[in-house]
Structure 1
Amino acid sequence: MRLLMTIDELKAFLQSDFPQVSGEFTIEDLGEMRIRMRLNVSERHLRPGGTVSGPSIFALADVAVYLAVLAMIGPQGLAVTTSSSLDFMRKPVAGRDLIAECRLLKLGRVLAVGEVLVFSDGDDRPVARASMTYSIPPKT
């Protein structure tokens, strides 16, 4: 298997198809069946108490798997999440971006399964662990 999209192509895809969130994420590294992404944490991602909210952590994990899948299959906007599980393991470090380390465990014809570890930038202890399954649309 080989990459069908580059970091620049994934970035352009996000900007055109998901402009409402494209500026929130930075793709830091991309390889076959893996991606590393950053959530550029701002005030809008915080919950009371000053920590990053659960929905923001979920969004980072979900977008990471989505883009890892697209990098392998090409720009198919209709790939969708069909299953997800997220374990919150510790409170993110205040004032730091979040980093998602994603790897695809399975990339089939109709389903892809990914695993994501989320870290506070500069801390090697995971904040959360996610498992996501994506449905891949049939090729037309």
Structure 2
Amino acid sequence: MDAQSGSSTFQPVMDAGEVNLYLRDVFPQACSGEVPDYRALNVSPGGCTVRLEAGFRHLRPGDTVSGPSLFALADIGGYVCALSHIGRKALAVTTNLNINFMRKAGPGTVDGHCRILKLGRRLMVFEAELVAGDTGETVAHATGTYSIPPAE
């Protein structure tokens, strides 16, 4: 498998701690506070794991984590993959994100296991499997594309 098809030959340039500090600066709406709602847990070659601490404000009736909250977790997972592998480029932006919701996620933690499928000069394609912490079941699967700003 080569670097364009999702192997571990992708090498991160930032670890989870560095990404979280950077997110606090550039995306405080979602990534600030003592324990942020959204944060990177780890970064690995070609991927990352992000977490949502789903509390009251993320729930819809029936104590179900809302679709927009899960969508945001997948999107932030893509952003963490991009940042951790290309560096501090705050203007990397989502150009596409598709998500399939599979089952209910209750309050608590939801982890996004993200993997880079392709990383080029202008685009990064990734996938994210969202797993509920209380059951360990996959609650959603997403694929997305990020546009990478040109080199300066």
TM-score by length of 2: 0.87
The equivalent of 1:128 in structure 2 is 140
- Superposition pairs of residues 27-66 of structure 1, within 5 angstroms: 27-66=40-79
- CA distances 1:31-50 after superposition (whole Å, capped 9, x unpaired): 01110111011101001111
- Sequence identity percentage: 41
- Superposition pairs of residues 87-102 of structure 1, within 5 angstroms: 87-92=100-105, 94-102=106-114
State whether structure 2 residue 20 is matched by structure 1 residue 11. yes
- CA distances 1:60-109 after superposition (whole Å, capped 9, x unpaired): 000011111110000101100001100001111x2321110000000001
- Number of residues paired by the alignment? 139
| Unpaired segments ≥5 residues, structure 1 | none
Displaced runs of 4 or more, over 2 A: 122-125
**Does structure 1 retain, via aligned residues, the 8 Å contact 2:77–2:112?**
yes
| Unpaired segments ≥5 residues, structure 2 | 1-9
The equivalent of 1:106 in structure 2 is 118
CA RMSD of superposed structures (Å): 1.1
Q: Secondary structure at the match of 1:21?
A: helix
User: Structure 2: how far apart are the matches of 1:64 and 1:139?
Assistant: 22
**Does structure 1 retain, via aligned residues, the 8 Å contact 2:55–2:108?**
no
Q: Secondary structure at the match of 2:65?
A: coil
Equivalent AA in structure 2 for residue 97 of structure 1: T
